[in-house]
Structures are given as C-alpha cells and as structure tokens.
Amino acid sequence: MTKPAHSRTRRTSFRWVIVALLFVITVFNYVDRTAISYAIQTIAREFELGDRAVGLVLGAFGAGYFVTTLLGGVAVDRWGAGRVLLIAAVVWSSAMAGAGIATGVVSLFLARVLLGVAEGPNFPAMNRAVDVWLNPDERATALAYSLVAVPLALAISGPIVTALLATIGWRYLFLLLGLVVLAWLPFWAWLYRDDPAASAHVSARELGHIRAGAAARNTAAVAQVFAPADWRFILTNRTLLANAWAFFVFGYFLFFFMTWLPDYLARVYRLSLREVGLFSFLPWFVAAVLLWAFGPLSDALLRRTGRLRIARSHLIMTTQLGAALAVIPVMFVRDVDIVIIFISIAVGLSMGANSSYFATIIDVAPKRSGTALGVMDAGFAASGFLAPTITGYIVSLTGGFNGAFFLLAALAASSAIVVFLFHHPDDSVRLES
C-alpha cells in the first residue's frame, strides 16, 4: 500500500499550490465585483438611473458583504475554509448570472447584494488557510502573494471588461464571469484540506516546516467551542481595533476607486470607455507591485528585528500617510496624465501594506483568525457600501468629486494617527488555543 505523501522523506512545497488557488479565486472575486463599474453608465441609461441610484447600486455589494464577512469568519472557524469557500463560490456564480438577467434596478440591486453575501467568506477563508498551511515566518509573504490578486484583477479587468462590454454587452459579460468561477471549484475540492497532515501531497519535511514555530494547536480541530472571552478579546483589543479602523480606510479607498474611478475619468476628462479601461490599468498595476513587494518586506523586517511593531505597524502607518498626501493634488491638477500618476501613488500605497493587516490578525489572534478577520472585514464591508453611496451623494449635491477626494485624504490621515497611537502587536496578549 502506498503511504501518504507526508510520511515520505521527499521534499515538497505544496503549501504554495494552496496559495496559488487562493490567488486565482481572489482574481475571480475582484473581477466579478468590479465589472459593474465599467458597465454602470450603460446600465444607468438603460434603467434611467441618477447619481444617487448609481451610488446605491454600486454600494449594494457592500451591504450583502457586510452580512457574511463576519458570519463567514465564524463559519470558517467552525467548519473549515475548504467547505465554506466551496459553497460561497457556487452562490456567487449564481449571483453573477442573476445580475446578467436583471430586468430593472431592483433585481440588479438584489443580485449585487447576493454577490456580496457570497463573496463575504473569501478573505476569512484565506486567512484561515494561510494560518494552517504556512509557517509563521512565511505568512505575510503568502498573504501578499494571495492578496496581490486584488490589484492585479483590477488592473486587468479594465482592458478586458471594457473590450468584452463592447463585444458582447453587459448582460452576457456577467453571465460569462459567473461561469468562469465554476471552473475553479473542482481544483479546490481536489487539492485543499483543512489540515495539511491530511493531504496526500505534503511530505513529512514540509509538514514539519509548516508547523515549526507555530502555536501549539490542532489545526484539524476547526470545530472548537467559541468562548465569550474570545469575543471579548477580539472586540476590545486595541491593536485589533486599530487594525480594523485602518483596514476600513483601506477599504474606503479601494471601493471608491474600484466603483467610481471609471465614471470619474469619463465625466471629468471625457474619456471613451476603451480609454477609461486603459487609464484604469496603471493605479492597480502600481498597487500590485507594491503589495507584492511589501509582504516579503514585512516578513524580512520581522526576521531582522523580531518586532511586529516595525514589521506590521510601521508599514501600515507610513503607507496610509503617503496615500493621504498623494490624494491632495488630485483636487487641484487638471492634467489627466498627472492625475493618474497621483491616483496610482495613492491607490498603490493604500493597498501596499494589505498583507500586514491580515498578518496582524494571525499574529494576535491565531486561535480565532477566521472570526477576528471577519470582524475586521465587517468594517471593510461597511466601506464597500459607504464609499460608493456617499460618493454618489457628494457628486449629486456638489456636481464634482473634490469633496469625495478630501474625505479620502482625511480618512487616510486618521488611520495613520490611530495606528501610531494604538497598534502595538508585540504588546498584545495572544488569543491562542
């Protein structure tokens, strides 16, 4: 009888296959959620929507996302990332199909809410998977490699989605994207296990590496009793709360530019749909490069200094402050090329430290990384509703975008201050099993 791979002495690196699967589904995740921002002008004309209604439709995703990002985290800790993400992907494929056959603003709004509900568990599942599959010294790197899917998806979605819109229209676009998600499901079901020891693809050497230095816990025992003390820790720990506020601000940046950047470029600079797709590429490409670089940088700083404050907090603080400063010139410059450069810097810096938010969760609350991430992601989900909706109201009331950009700068500055004052992961008591 052939022994399981983890009982052999051969060297494997299968944990990075898991990271690749997380990367792929996150690409699909963000292409799906952002496609509507390129189609919204056509949809608005077809359904006769004003700016406020457009803002509500764009924000509908965040409303649904808020519901399950927290519940999804609890579900991941209870049943494991494998099962939860499998079910979630099926539902969001259905939601994309629902958007494609929408007959009016109500059905489109509900389809977007359902998409948010379905995609809510994605990042809690990612955090749980990285927690159990990666050595602590590799987690920020693994998260960066997974999360770089977000800006990469947003970078490629502009040219690809605008080309598809011009070719097949917005309805068939949504139907096609829903089908693509289904192609990922068999690979996830075949390759992912909630405990690396249960995988036939992991050698004993790799399993030892994964578990070296990790908190003593049974990774297979995902169905643990959730004590009230766990909730109290997650909801009162100053580092986790500061982390959540900064992540909310990051989310506000992300959803603002993800939903309104195409419309902003089209309105203010009179760009065509194809030009909007091309101009939208640069901010997300810069974000992808910085996120890719800052994850390994965070782990390198941790190895060199042994201090989470330097490896996590300082990275978050400086990037948020830089994003605040980069937004300011956008309100005063009128050259589209220069504006895109400053927007690219703002978006890139805002997203650059993304893996540090997730790594901080695992650093401080490894026992409940899924649930703690769900709490943080609930604020992110709120930003997904608030950023598009508030922007719609500001544009409707003022006739321009400067008020929205001013709010972005103020929020980013506030998050840098909060992290400076309260984000001290080295001093936080760990929530461990």
Neighbours of 406 (CB within 10 A): 15
Cβ(63)–Cβ(111) under 8 Å? no
Neighbours of 4 (CB within 10 A): 14
Cβ(55)–Cβ(387) under 8 Å? no
Tokens 């950009």, located at residue: 405
pLDDT of residue 62: 80
Distance of alpha carbon 178 from alpha carbon 92, whole angstroms: 7
Half-sphere exposure (Cβ direction) of 141: Cα atoms closer than 13 Å: 15
pLDDT of residue 213: 57
Cβ(203)–Cβ(12) under 8 Å? yes
Q: Which run of H or of E encompasses 58?
A: helix 51-79
CA angle 14, 70, 153 (to 5 degrees): 55
pLDDT of residue 423: 94
Half-sphere exposure (Cβ direction) of 208: Cα atoms closer than 13 Å: 8
Cβ(335)–Cβ(100) under 8 Å? no
pLDDT of residue 142: 83
pLDDT of residue 375: 83
Distance of alpha carbon 15 from alpha carbon 140, whole angstroms: 14
pTM higher than the cut 0.75 = no
Task: Going from the first residue of the chain to its last (433 residues), give the mean pLDDT of each consecutive group of 10, the final group possibly shorter.
Answer: 50 86 90 86 87 84 80 81 91 91 90 90 84 80 79 83 90 92 91 89 84 53 58 88 95 90 87 78 88 85 89 94 96 92 94 87 79 81 87 90 95 96 84 54
Read off the amino acid at residue 146.
Answer: S
Distance of alpha carbon 230 from alpha carbon 374, whole angstroms: 13
Cβ(204)–Cβ(33) under 8 Å? no
Distance of alpha carbon 230 from alpha carbon 71, whole angstroms: 15
Give one DSSP letter per residue of 208-222, joined into a string. HHHHTT--S--TT--
Tokens 């036939």, located at residue: 200
pLDDT of residue 381: 81
CA angle 96, 100, 105 (to 5 degrees): 105
pLDDT of residue 105: 87
Read off the amino acid at residue 255.
Answer: F
pLDDT of residue 218: 43
Distance of alpha carbon 405 from alpha carbon 410, whole angstroms: 9
Q: Is 227 exposed, middle or buried (0-12, 13-18, 19+ CB in 10 A)?
A: exposed
pLDDT of residue 5: 46
Give one DSSP letter per residue of 180-192, joined into a string. HHHHHHHHHHHH-
